[in-house]
Chains A and B, each alone.
Chain A
Amino acid sequence: MEPVIITSDAVDLQVAIGSLALQNPVMTASGTFGYGREFESFVDLSRLGAIVVKGISLEPRCGNPPPRIVETACGMLNAIGLENVGVDRFIREKMPYLSGLGVPVIVNILGDCVEEYARLAERLADIAGVSAIEINISCPNVKKGGVAFGTDPQMAAAVTAAVKKSCRLPIIVKLSPNVTDVTLMAKAVEEAGADGVSLINTLIGMAIDLASRRPRLANIIGGLSGPAIKPVALRMVYQVAQVVTIPIIGIGGIASAEDALEFMLAGASAVQVGTANFVNPRASEDVLDGITAYAREQQLSSIRDLIGGLRLG
């Protein structure tokens, strides 16, 4: 985990998500990298492809009661409850630092209704340093009886269209895996104007403490993340890659360059490193170093050559 020295015979690692150009495909996943600064002792933040910040809502949210996390086999469950400082404080307190890093900042947004998402996008549209918006649609739509936006293609499309109309930034829609057919969701948001999709968000799960016969999370259920979910995520990225033409960002259990490269072969243009940041705060940079080494070793003229390069038959 000591820094790897990269010699400078440059490899072309650039990828694009719509009009957003990235110096390389490695981003950090929302909710697993704080607001970036937390990692400054461990990661050269300016080397990252992009930083995706913790999900932001219009008003601050204080989150769920503890316990909020529990470890599971090769993974963890979380029920943080979308705790965040709210969009105003985010812009005031977090953006000045982030915008000084010189890397794209992607703001993950969440809301209770379509209008809230649209207002968030409006608020962020002209903030210096904000390069794109990632819509977290794994939230309950309060106006529609609490059904998650991310499980209904029409609602997901409505949110996407509303956000798209409210700002000119590239829009990434983050898909929930808690659906029967993820390709329907992907197609719906592509048609509604999304510039890219990112997947997967956490899988809903549960853990029970036998001794007390109680759920291990105060919220009873929570989102599963980490290496345990990688095969599911990889499958979903592959399936979505068959039906959309917009770029895909692969997420789920990525802890090494090998993991990231598998997602690219399955069709991802870029990846996000999530839970691995908790275990190894330098994980994102380690993944980047590994991808760079692989590209050089394989003598790739561009990392883009790998995207969707899965060999079949």
Chain B
Amino acid sequence: MSQFQKNVELVRSEVLAQDVIRLTFNAPEIAAAAMPGQFVMVQIAPGQDPLLRRPFSIHQITKDGALQILFKVVGRGTRLLAQVQEGAHLSLLGPLGRGFILAAPEKACLVGGGMGIAPLLFLAGRLSQPVHDGPRPKVILGARNRAELVPLIAAFENIGIKVLAATDDGSFGHHGLVTDVLQGLNLDSAFTVYSCGPRPMMAAINHLCQQQKISCQVSVETVMACGMGACLGCAVALKAGGYAHVCSDGPVFEAGELLWSL
């Protein structure tokens, strides 16, 4: 398992929607080792405040060594990160965690809500055959409104995927939840559903998949200090009792192994 701590250059910082930022780093070692579903720990400031790194899913990597993250400004760390100037260097730690187990593209359905979309682009890219018109996974993406969703969909369309969209306010695609769209697809039990998003959304998707006997992998979030299995701070409750550690046992889990409250 190769993991790296590297000072890398921020080559591009883009505002995709209000408070939604995409950062592109030149991080060839981490990018080369990364698998879909894995994450990086980003040092926000070189000093001691904020002290801890912040975890972000690897959104996309390219052959020339670029690594992207996609995030929403939700607090102090993400606000500072959104302000970092292009050309600056930041310390990245990764790739970390266990990613998705890949299924055949024609039997994969990706369901993302909000910033949960972030890890799914990398996954969709890996699942798709590089050939034109080759099999593509189904992708359902949801967000609050059109302004938030449309810029995120573009990257999927670029790799030849037609996205099924849902918005809370009905301003784009289905008016309602991604789970409605998923249910409407009536997937057979040979499918694997990959999901990342707000907890209630993942709980609902787990419920649906359990009913329809579809295997379901979810990427979950907790607060983290180290991201590498050392602090034991990232506990998530297991159905069988006890806890798993999101950074080292996950962040991707079989949904059925976790304890969900609907």
For the complex formed, measure the closest distance between the CB of B93 and the CB atoms of chain A, giving whole angstroms. 7
Decide if the interface of chain A is mainly helix, strand, loop or mixed.
loop
* CB-based contact B7/A278 at 8 Å: no
Contact bitstring B229-244, A, C-beta under 8 A = 1, else 0: 1111111110001110
Query: Which of B14-22, B50-58, B119-127, B149-157 faces chain A?
Result: B50-58
* CB-based contact A42/B5 at 8 Å: yes
B 57-99 contacts with A by CB, 8 A? 91, 93
* CB-based contact B235/A68 at 8 Å: yes
* CB-based contact A281/B243 at 8 Å: no
For the complex formed, measure the closest distance between the CB of B81 and the CB atoms of chain A, giving whole angstroms. 14
* A32 cross-chain contacts in B, Cβ below 8 A: 226, 230-231
Judged by a CB distance under 8 angstroms, whether B186 is at the interface is no
* B212 cross-chain contacts in A, Cβ below 8 A: none
* B223 cross-chain contacts in A, Cβ below 8 A: 66-70
Q: Give the nearest-CB partner of A69 in chain B.
A: B233
- Taking residues whose C-beta sits less than 8 angstroms from the other chain, chain A's interface range is 35 or more
Q: Give the nearest-CB partner of A216 in chain B.
A: B223
A279 to B50, CA, bound (A): 10
Judged by a CB distance under 8 angstroms, whether B261 is at the interface is no
Judged by a CB distance under 8 angstroms, whether B43 is at the interface is yes
Judged by a CB distance under 8 angstroms, whether B48 is at the interface is yes
Judged by a CB distance under 8 angstroms, whether B4 is at the interface is yes
* B53 cross-chain contacts in A, Cβ below 8 A: 278-279
* B242 cross-chain contacts in A, Cβ below 8 A: 62
Residue from the set B50, B91, B235 with the largest chain A CB neighbour count within 10 Å: B235
Residue from the set B5, B43, B229, B231 with the largest chain A CB neighbour count within 10 Å: B231
Judged by a CB distance under 8 angstroms, whether B49 is at the interface is yes
* A41 cross-chain contacts in B, Cβ below 8 A: 1-4
For the complex formed, measure the closest distance between the CB of A220 and the CB atoms of chain B, giving whole angstroms. 16
* B52 cross-chain contacts in A, Cβ below 8 A: 71, 76, 278-279
Judged by a CB distance under 8 angstroms, whether B10 is at the interface is no
A66 to B220, CA, bound (A): 13
Answer whether A31 and B231 are a contact pair too, CB < 8 Å, given A42-B3, A67-B223, A83-B243.
yes
Judged by a CB distance under 8 angstroms, whether B183 is at the interface is no
Judged by a CB distance under 8 angstroms, whether A290 is at the interface is no
B 200-257 contacts with A by CB, 8 A? 222-226, 228-237, 241-243, 248
Judged by a CB distance under 8 angstroms, whether A5 is at the interface is no
Judged by a CB distance under 8 angstroms, whether A39 is at the interface is yes
For the complex formed, measure the closest distance between the CB of A225 and the CB atoms of chain B, giving whole angstroms. 10
Residue from the set B49, B226, B243 with the largest chain A CB neighbour count within 10 Å: B226
Q: Give the nearest-CB partner of B247 in chain A.
A: A38
* CB-based contact B235/A78 at 8 Å: no
A31 to B231, CA, bound (A): 6
* A277 cross-chain contacts in B, Cβ below 8 A: 226, 230
For the complex formed, measure the closest distance between the CB of A278 and the CB atoms of chain B, giving whole angstroms. 4
* CB-based contact A63/B230 at 8 Å: no
Q: Give the nearest-CB partner of B248 in chain A.
A: A38
* CB-based contact A1/B236 at 8 Å: no
Answer whether A226 and B231 are a contact pair too, CB < 8 Å, given A1-B7, A282-B5.
no
Answer whether A66 and B235 are a contact pair too, CB < 8 Å, given A38-B229, A278-B226, A280-B5.
yes
Residues of chain A at the chain B interface (Cβ within 8 Å): 1-2, 31-34, 38-39, 41-42, 54, 62-71, 73-76, 78, 80, 83, 226-227, 255, 275, 277-282
Sort A-B residue pairs by CB-CB distance and give the 7 closest, nearest first: A69-B233, A34-B230, A278-B226, A41-B3, A62-B242, A278-B225, A74-B48
User: Can you spell out 28 A-B residue pairs with CB atoms less than 8 angstroms apart?
Assistant: A1-B5, A1-B7, A2-B7, A31-B231, A32-B231, A34-B228, A34-B229, A38-B229, A39-B230, A41-B3, A54-B232, A63-B232, A65-B235, A67-B223, A68-B233, A69-B224, A71-B51, A76-B52, A78-B225, A78-B231, A80-B232, A227-B48, A255-B48, A277-B226, A277-B230, A278-B225, A281-B5, A281-B228
